[in-house]
Structure 1
């Protein structure tokens, strides 16, 4: 009996040792401070070489902000690599890396104007072939130094992650002007025939925020870049594309100033719950004519006169109509389809599209927009509902 117990005990010990040896261990575990987490990637083109920038954060300091804001400046580390191709530039970045570089946490990609004049689609395709980079980052263009952009300190000593560069959606919800675009939406745009890619332009503003009396650099969306069929179509200042905001279906809040005689009488807060673009082929030559329909509601934020709400609505409708027509005609003058009218022609009249060499021979005309139907409904004036 004793012999049997010994055999059984020995057998159990052998099983235990076998299971212990085969257990998965954390042999390759690394602490968070022992890895280089890249949060933003920038691409430039200088002296016939691609230049790649990486923005990395010190996560040991970022983690301290969970309970309270840091009183110290949060350091930002910027890497730089260059090469004859984009992949060669990334590999050059590895040559002086002090820690393993992790690309999985990128939330922003910035292309300089010089790089956008190369083959942006090919560069993006090369980037996404690396398995760690996802389709979720926000994409921007810039005319500023990417190195300076990545090194810009955030307000209130917050982490750079809490900035427009990495989280533009919240700011857009508060002031809907130039819609942010993700890498996924960028590729969807490329796949749609006749569509014009509009990339937000990001820069550093030095005269809006101050730390005590010292000017503080802050991110700002100052315009957009246009791309058609992988071809760079130029940069547009924010003040020159006011009509584009009304064509977006995601407008939550945008301000409109009513000034009938170059004197402000009211400030309105508007959103666009419904919008529709209709294309009809008119005449023997089947000339495309466009009708834009907008249903807009909002509120009176500030009234400087006793003007009736209905009068404000009529003036707002006229202002919006003028902004759309001016932006469209400015684009036509420069040969750019800012409203992606060609895409609407493809969707609504595909036979016409095919007859014109898949849209290649369709020419934009200043009078292509036949009618802009705008209906503005002001529902309240702040805390009070309007009485009709």
Structure 2
């Protein structure tokens, strides 16, 4: 009899506190906002009905995405998160949060390290979600779907896939953000997301909003966050060794000379202290594939490969310097040159860390060495490139 009762107890002990999946509400994304009038945080929580992901996407509409967004408020981040428990008639599970989106209002209210303090205390939220910033409605962004009505196959949940195809602003996770923020002299480049109104159209001529990614919000210490576009930060990609593919259009006198794809640029930065002032020399190696010449013979068709290389090197150099000067004018060290100096020569840095200051002259030399590895089909190469260069 004792053996039977013991076996029964063992059988019951393994599942007495289990729950069915349909009894749990899974939170997949969070938006963090701040209401200055009420002096409280607003948290938007996105939850998805995963049963929608297992069925055919054919014919799905925006209302079929199976997602909802709830709002909760609190004087602190932690209080706002705790207030969600009264808004759901099911158990909430926070371990599947894969996206965090911060509003500009929240970022301007206090440093992001203080905002994230509450998230770290809320133990169910991990440190691996993708992080973004925005100046638009968090509620609308968290409800955006792709063209097939799927809410999880968007750039919010898969930013690295888009980045590999078209590299401008590198996606980062929460733990990368906090690591970079804590490093001496390093700036945080927080990717920005937004909404393109009525950009997509279906075969019924119905239009819907689409997600956009353009630029980044630059964060450093207690200073005011600044928002810049992709065009303004064009030089940033050439000093990021994670860049795999990035487009570049060469223009001259307002006309397109050639379209290229830059492949895996590599950079080296050297610092030198002269009379108590730091100077930086940047060397960039780029490999490119030539995608197209314009058909007009007076434009790209008349250019030699050597001329295109010279124009490409000149344009990349200009983008790097323009982005640096833009950051300088907004009190932002876009390329984290202070961090580079600290890492490469910590003794000199410690001697002048109180007087360290970047000026227009600090970025002394920018050297670009470009190579065109692919020119397209053989006929294209033969027809457009002079015979002397073909050899």
TM-score by length of 2: 0.90
Q: Where in structure 2 are there 5+ consecutive unaligned residues? A: 295-299, 382-389
Distance 1:76 1:135, change over 3 A: same
Q: 2:189 matched to 1:195?
A: no
Distance 1:43 1:326, change over 3 A: same
- Counterpart of 2:363? 369
- Counterpart of 2:149? 157
- Counterpart of 1:274? 266
- Counterpart of 1:56? 47
1:360 offset after TM fit, Å?
4.6
- Contact 1:276-1:293 within 8 A present in 2 as well: yes
Deviation above 6 Å: which 4+ runs of structure 1? none
Q: How many residues in Structure 1 have an aligned counterpart in Structure 2?
A: 369
- Contact 2:146-2:154 within 8 A present in 1 as well: yes
| Post-superposition CA distance 1:73-118 (Å, at most 9, x none) | 2131101110111111112222222211111111110110011111
- Counterpart of 1:167? 158
Partner Cα distance (1:106, 1:133) in 2 = 6
| Post-superposition CA distance 1:154-194 (Å, at most 9, x none) | 21122x11110111000010000111111111122023110
Give SS of 1:238's match.
coil
Partner Cα distance (1:238, 1:30) in 2 = 46
> Which protein is bigger by CA-based radius of gyration?
1
Give SS of 1:345's match.
helix
TM-score by length of 1: 0.90
Aligned residue runs from structure 1 range 158-307, under 5 A: 158=150, 160-206=151-197, 208-212=199-203, 213-282=205-274, 285-304=275-294, 305-306=300-301, 307=303
1:383 offset after TM fit, Å?
4.4
Partner Cα distance (2:338, 2:127) in 1 = 26
- Contact 1:64-1:70 within 8 A present in 2 as well: no
Give SS of 1:157's match.
coil
Q: 2:94 matched to 1:123?
A: no
Q: Where in structure 1 are there 5+ consecutive unaligned residues? A: 1-12
Q: 2:375 matched to 1:381?
A: yes
Partner Cα distance (2:190, 2:79) in 1 = 25
- Counterpart of 1:326? 322
When the two chains are superposed, the root-mean-square deviation of aligned CA atoms in Å is 1.8
Partner Cα distance (1:169, 1:230) in 2 = 29
1:17 offset after TM fit, Å?
3.2
- Counterpart of 1:9? none
Which of residues 17, 32, 37 is equivalent to 2:5? 17
- Counterpart of 2:347? 351
1:376 offset after TM fit, Å?
1.0
Give SS of 1:278's match.
strand
- Counterpart of 1:3? none
